[in-house]
Amino acid sequence: MSLSELISGVEAHEMTLTVFNSESDAADTLREHFADRNLVVTEGNSLEGPQDYVVLSKGDEFLTAANLDEVLDPSLDTEPHFEAEGRKAILDHLDETMFTSYDARQMVSASREIEDRAWRVGAGQLHAGFQNVSIIESQLDVYEQLATRPNLDVHAYGYPDDAVPDHEGFTVHVERTDEIANSWFVVYDGAGVDSNKCALLAEEREPRQFYGFWTYGPDTVDWIIDHLTSTYGMVEPDDSVER
């Protein structure tokens, strides 16, 4: 299985958010609130249920329920926050739901959260896919700083569109594959602690528009890292670039 196939697998497991017993335009509000997520919002009625509550399901599987006000709480947004403490259950269940049309700014913001966690823990493995080698140069300060953590093993991946920039402390994987050229990912193994594991994985389907998901799931994080380490080598080429 490839990274793209993993994304497609998440995409295929579409979730449904059903709002019950609401007299307002709650369904339309929820559709707008989750506009960038692969999520169907429907309306339902229950004679025995409370007013203004929502149910999240996947197929016939019930996942969680919450009060409508909780879901629409302005202090809670649908962007990734990899510090999971205090998150509402309904957002926890959405962490492996596809996001759509994220721009580069949103992707950088999500990436920074994972990089920050790796920095604070200071151990384990961090793997980051930049699509192209030329993009790595713009992030040298960040990744050389991360690499100063003596117990943190840092890896960057890119398609050889340019010479490998001079760098210290971390490994650059130069890979001439479509998977690397099209994928943006930041994956942290949590130094072996499941509660610290997190990942962002997306592919560029339109110019600078990214489709993918984030996850706190240790099994998914482990799979991505196993795929990267078993598929791509550790040797950096010289400065020549094949045109």
Q: Show the DSSP H helices in the chain as ranges.
A: 3-12, 26-33, 68-71, 89-92, 104-121, 133-138, 140-146, 178-182, 218-231
Average pLDDT of the residues in 203-212: 95
Boundary-marking domain end, from 44, 64, 92: 92
- pLDDT tens digits, one per residue of 120-158: 999 999 999 999 999 999 999 999 999 999 999 999 999
Cα gap 141→137, rounded to integer Å: 9
In a domain, 70, yes or no: yes
In a domain, 243, yes or no: no
In a domain, 240, yes or no: no
- pLDDT tens digits, one per residue of 91-101: 777 777 788 88
Q: Print the domain residue range for 180.
A: 99-231
Q: What are phi and psi of 27, to 5 degrees?
A: -60, -45
Contact 102/202 with Cβ under 8 angstroms? yes
In a domain, 19, yes or no: yes
**66/118 same-domain check:** no
Among the listed residues 117, 104, 124, the one whose alpha carbon sits nearest the alpha carbon of residue 229: 124
CATH of the domain at 195: 3.30.870.10
How many separate domains does the chain show?
Answer: 2
**135/81 same-domain check:** no
- pLDDT tens digits, one per residue of 24-67: 788 999 999 888 888 899 998 776 667 888 999 988 899 888 88
Could you please report the per-residue DSSP string of 129-148? EEEEHHHHHHTHHHHHHHTT
In a domain, 236, yes or no: no
Indicate the pTM of the whole model: 0.84
**47/149 same-domain check:** no
**36/82 same-domain check:** yes
**109/86 same-domain check:** no
